[in-house]
Structure 1
Amino acid sequence: MTDPNEETVHWTSGINVLAGLWLILAPFALGYSQFEPILWNDVIVGFAIAVFAMFRAARPYHFAPLSWINFVLGIWLVLAPFILSYTTLGGGRAIWNDVTLGVIILVLAAWSAATTKPVA
């Protein structure tokens, strides 16, 4: 029988993998790739989130700190549009994308980390 905590880590981290991959593609799909600070922020942060979440999904009872790192990266995504001045760069779609994904990522990362049992 599968442990419900393991399943929670699998699906929360799996969604964060997808969110990280979307974040990499979003500047091109949503048409703001010409704004380099936003582009590189989304590509770098998206790559990190996807990789950390993949490790979590692959080994649910290990790497809990990676979920907390993704939690912090989610907070960064919520704050980045204001810190990096997306509005002055013309990144209206980027603001909504990053803030929405940031909230989703930080909630799922906290949920994943909180459901991890210590390894005996």
Structure 2
Amino acid sequence: MAVTAGPASATSNDDAYGCPYGAVCIYNNADPNSGIENGGVYWAYGPHNLSNQFGNHYVVNNQYGGAWVELCTGYNGTGRGNTIIFAAPYGNVEDLSPINSIVLGTGNNYPCTPP
């Protein structure tokens, strides 16, 4: 009986501070070496509600193809847009206290809209 190995789970060269290529990640605090928080990896375009996020956190946009992430003050991608982080990957220290959702997307229409 032959046994074959599956793909290795080692970190890809395209990872940024442990954030997988194609994802947006929120870290435990303002230092990317603090590790990605539990549930802090986002893959799908559209709004993602946040809960119990206070103070400064490092946010990495490791998406591709000009994708961005916008931080919104309201839930479901509403409210005022505080920051837009463009892919490259770029990371920013962000105060998430006023932020209740993030939105991942592409193009030039940033979605934080009045509730």
TM-score (norm 1): 0.25
> Which structure features the higher share of strand residues?
2
> Which structure features the higher share of helix residues?
1
Between 1 and 2, higher relative CO (CA 8 Å, sep ≥ 6) is seen in 1
TM-score (norm 2): 0.26
